[in-house]
Structure 1
């Protein structure tokens, strides 16, 4: 399993609108993608314009090829992109260890 971690910074004062948009985008667009296995969204306390989106994919290619090169990616960006203050930083991770 691959973790996609997106560090998102949005425009000030848009948190309530973005909360709705990001949930909608993940549930209605990303969740239907090949290899999607789940997600978590965290929002900043000290930095209320900062969000951390974690999406779990079966393979790296499910995100980088199957999703990113699909029309669904454009649909996703149309939903959340207008709120971005800067382009998100996106990285991928594999699991090293965990607690139960």
Structure 2
């Protein structure tokens, strides 16, 4: 299992619109091959800051299967205009469990 993590910085005043668009976009990512689960968390201390966590079966399910799909174009259309700066996406693998 791979954990994708992205810190999202949503433009000021667009948080409500982003959250509504994210709810719409959630069906896109959840329909992809290799998708396991995802969560989006709003930061308490910093306005407009969100943490997106997505679990994938493999790295390629995200980087190839999702990112190179037609569905990703719809994801981009719904969400990418909210970000400033554009988020850095990183991938993690579990090394320990508490």
TM range (shorter): over 0.9
Matched residues in 2 for 1:51 and 1:93: separation? 18
State the 1:85 CA deviation.
1.4
State the 1:3 CA deviation.
0.2
Matched residues in 2 for 1:97 and 1:48: separation? 32
What does residue 15 of structure 1 align with?
Answer: 15
Structure 2 residue runs without a partner (length 5+): none
Out of 4-13 and 17-26, give the one that drifted further: 17-26
1:41 match: secondary structure: strand
1:45 match: secondary structure: coil
The alignment status of 1:96 with 2:95, answered yes or no, reads yes
What does residue 62 of structure 2 align with?
Answer: 63
Give the TM-score normalised by the residue count of structure 1. 0.93
What does residue 80 of structure 1 align with?
Answer: 79
Q: Which runs of 4+ in 1 moved over 6 A?
A: none
Give the TM-score normalised by the residue count of structure 2. 0.95
What does residue 29 of structure 2 align with?
Answer: 30
